[in-house]
Structure 1
Amino acid sequence: MTQRFADILQGLMDNRELSPRAVSRASARAESTILQLLNGVVSPSPETVKDIAPVLNIPEADLLIIAGIATSQSSNTAKPYRNSTEIGELVSIASSLSAEQLRRLIVVARSLNSEDNN
């Protein structure tokens, strides 16, 4: 199952043009963990799946099934990060932007963040 998950994870990342570093940063998981998953060295845990599913823009339950993890296990995990689905979607979109578009997105995000802090 570990290699099957690794292959599917790689396909999902390729389809979304996400690097291991991008998935790592967006999911708050170590890049080494993402690389180990991609190489089939470790099996995904429910917690890891919960963190990377939004980045891949895939429902957590679907990724749990792909990983061969019973979906009932996810109910025992901590609550997902605030707005994790939206953050995952944003990362997915941002990964396909040009360098100039990405710079503009960062400017807008910083502006919104400073508005919220005032």
Structure 2
Amino acid sequence: MTQRFADILQGLMNNRKLSPRTVSRASARAESTILQLLNGAIPPSPETLRDIAPVLNISEADLLVIAGLTTGHSSSAAKPYHNSEEIGKLVSIASSLSSEQLRRLIAVGRNLKH
């Protein structure tokens, strides 16, 4: 199952034009963890899937099923960081923008920070 999940994860990332580094940064997971998942070196854990699901713009429950893990988790579990779902959606959108659009999005984000 680990290699099958790795192949599906790679397909999801390719489809969304996401690099391991992008998934790592947006999910707050180490890039080495993402690379190990992609190589089938480690099995996915529910906690890791919870963190990367928003980045992939897929529900946590669907990703758990794809990985062959139980979906009987507590919906009140703490998220790894504030607004993780929204950040994942933003990363997904940003990955399909042109270079110029991405520069403008970054500028808008920086202005919102102040």
Name the TM-score, length of structure 2 as normaliser. 0.93
1:3 aligns with 2:3: yes
Q: Note the C-alpha offset of 1:113.
A: 1.6
Q: Note the C-alpha offset of 1:82.
A: 2.5
Paired residues, number: 113
Structure 1 residues 31 and 77 mapped into 2: Cα distance closer, same or farther (>3 Å)? Answer: farther
1:79 aligns with 2:64: no
SS of residue paired to 2:82? coil
CA displacement 1:20-76 (0-9 Å, x = unmatched): 01000000101110000000000011110000000000000000111111011x318
SS of residue paired to 2:51? helix
Gaps of 5+ in 2: none
1:14 aligns with 2:51: no
Gaps of 5+ in 1: none
Q: Note the C-alpha offset of 1:6.
A: 0.4
Aligned Cα root-mean-square deviation (Å): 1.4
Q: Note the C-alpha offset of 1:85.
A: 1.6
